[in-house]
Amino acid sequence: MTSCAFSSSVPTPVGVKTFVPPPLPHPQHPTRFTTSLPCDELSALGQEDGDEAVPVPDNLLSTPRMVRNAVYSFVNPEDQSKNAFLLSWNKEFAKELGVDINKIERSQWSEQELDNLVKVLTGGGRKIPIPQQGEQETDKGPRETLPWAHCYGGHQFGYYAGQLGDGRAISLYETVNPATGQSWELQLKGAGKTPYSRFADGYAVLRSSIREYLCAEAVASLDVASSRSLAILSTETMVMREEGGEPGSIVCRVAPSWVRFGSFEIFFYRKDRINLRRLAEYVCDEVFKLPRDDPQDTAAFTEIFRKVDLEATSKLETDEPKHVSAAVDGEAQGAPATEKQPKAHYRNRFAKMFEQVAYKTAIMVSGWQAIGFCHGVMNTDNMSILGLTIDFGPYAFLDKYDPQFICNHSDSEGRYSFQQQPGICLWNLGRLALTLENLIGAQERVDDLDWLRQQETDTEKEEQLKEGAKDIVVEILNKSFRDVFLKDYRRRMNEKFGLGGANQVEDEDLTKIVVPALSWMDDYEVDYHQFYRALADYKVQGANTVDKNGTQIEALVKRLLPTPVHMARGSIAVEEIKEWLEPYHTRLVRSDALKDDQARRVRMNKVNPAFVLRNWVAQRVIERVTESVMKTREESTEEDPDKDLLDRILWMCHHPFGEEGGSQSEEKTTTADGTCEITRNDAGLEVYGEYVGPVPEWGQGIQCSCSS
């Protein structure tokens, strides 16, 4: 059986029109994921070599079913290319992905290139050119991709849900940017049914596609790891949801890997140790590039440490009276007790893999908490092993600061509220650790497969494996998650407050400045993002103490508090803000680097966004883009001011910080995509138009559901 992700096309006969490739990066051949891991038996039939191949109809490949002993299934996207069109193309990310530099801009494409791009990204074609170097003449030319859907399980709202998998996402192919060496996996969301669709239709509606397309880029632009968006397309598919038919859409989203915590869970709960290990080996080798455990290192560890353990065990098993062995150990009556030395633990590659996952997850969630991002559905099947923000559903950026904010109205108990996110990440890591505990617990003997098999088939011995993993896992969760989270959160918050970078963090910054400021925001319903932009204007030069800044503080409070709150409690808010402003002010004036008001303002406005993809902004964009799509489909001759709205909003997501730090004078400029000429003053916010400023009353506290 072959497990390659591409099949060679027949050479083009003389006189036949030459294939014009879409402006996409070259596929990697063969594909790492599908060649390294087992495919389900049904979809593998069509990939056999020679006469053994058994063609399997597409409708059978995509039939929802239980899939066992497999990490993925080959499945073709449903052809939705008829009357489909490109809504937006992310040229900024196209560069990073490795698209030909001469094909980055849509203006550089021929009509046929655009048509072929739309076909490939909507299931109407699968031919992609491969690099020509080093190939046989008969193999040159385009190949057809062999797309696949990923099989995984997961805990949903705290309960294991069994087989889940890519129910409407289909991976098209892998690619490697030759300039950077970075691998990427292109995936189509909304591409139709897969074996993992269960009772769903495999489609995505336009509103959810817009939300994911924009938010992935907004999060990445705020320095938080995320999947990326390459393109969004409109299809003529009408998708039935709770409120009736909605226009369909497909997003081409991209990540270095789409493996999730739930990818391991499905094999663990099925007691499929063989495929669990195969997946773990793949992640170690291909995703994290971890070296194999060195036999010399493991032998040396065994010689040094296991000998000590055996001697200690032997000593305890002697027939000496208890008081004798206690005296030897320094524990006899009247003698000081000695501290027992902790057992030595060998961290094999699977422990190191888990350590990497914990570290990256900590960095991700510290970023969420700093930028005010609430994910909404932190199930283990939505947790990336690379610590990427993925699966953008009912997410929200905070409006007013509310640590208990719940963005998903299906989350009645607040399991995934804003303040719970770090704890949920830790809980999810615990679920992942559970799947790996035998591999981690085997320590230096993890590659002694006969020995490991004996341990796993004996209940008592398997318990020893789990016990051997316990201390390693706990230490990783303490050091690679808790400590890393706290350190990175301190760094991010110090930068947001203008207190310098990682090397300038002081012990009391968090407890005396950051936490009291957050509490004050919560008490007075202050907008989380506007708070930092306003604080950037706070001046300390010429005022050695807070008391000399009374007028400025009153103006700051008036600027930040909602009008009704200011009218009712403004004077109290002024007095209470001084409680944390005093140590903040003192911290600034005692540092020459920090007390420069203009320099500090520039630094703060480079990390605190003026434009935020709030839910009301996303909703307004959805409404206007949907109306624009309907006009296009109806071939309306009416002028459409929103035809390029998605491109403009995408530009804002990529450039959320305004033009702070530039010239004080006004100047005319044009956005990167050439869509709108504006006049900017030194605040530089006109480019954002109606999408910055106070949250409209109708847009406050919007919650979304998981339905998409």
**DSSP assignment of 436-448, as one string?**
HHHHHHTGGGTT-
Q: Give backbone dihedrals phi and psi of 692, rounded to 5 degrees, phi first.
A: -125, 170
State the residue for tokens 């319903």: 525
**Amino acid letter for position 252:** C
Give the separation between CA 235 and CA 189, rounded to whole angstroms. 12
Report helix angle 349-371 to 459-476, nearest 10: 40
Q: In 509-617, where do the E strands start and end?
A: none
- Among 40, 381, 391, 647, the active-site one is 381
**Amino acid letter for position 541:** Q
**DSSP assignment of 616-681, as one string?**
HHHHHHHHHHHHHHHHHHTT--S--TTTTHHHHHHHHHH-TTTTTTS-SS-EEEE-TTS--EEEE-
Under 8 Å between Cβ of 169 and 195: no
Judge whether 381 counts as a catalytic residue: yes
Virtual CA dihedral for 13, 14, 18, 19, nearest 10 degrees? 0
Three-state DSSP class for 613?
Answer: coil
Q: Which DSSP letter does residue 566 get? A: H
Under 8 Å between Cβ of 222 and 342: no
Q: Give backbone dihedrals phi and psi of 145, rounded to 5 degrees, phi first.
A: -70, 150
Three-state DSSP class for 253?
Answer: strand
Give the separation between CA 443 and CA 469, rounded to whole angstroms. 8
Tokens of 27: 């596929």
Task: Residue 252: name the closest of 235, 269, 267, 277 by CA.
Answer: 235
Tokens of 641: 């001011």
Q: What are the beta bridge partners of residue 678? A: 669
Tokens of 46: 């069509």
Report helix angle 484-496 to 597-604, nearest 10: 130
Give the separation between CA 212 and CA 664, rounded to whole angstroms. 36
Give the separation between CA 493 and CA 510, rounded to whole angstroms. 8
Q: How far is CA 685 from its chain centroid? A: 28
The catalytic residues are 381
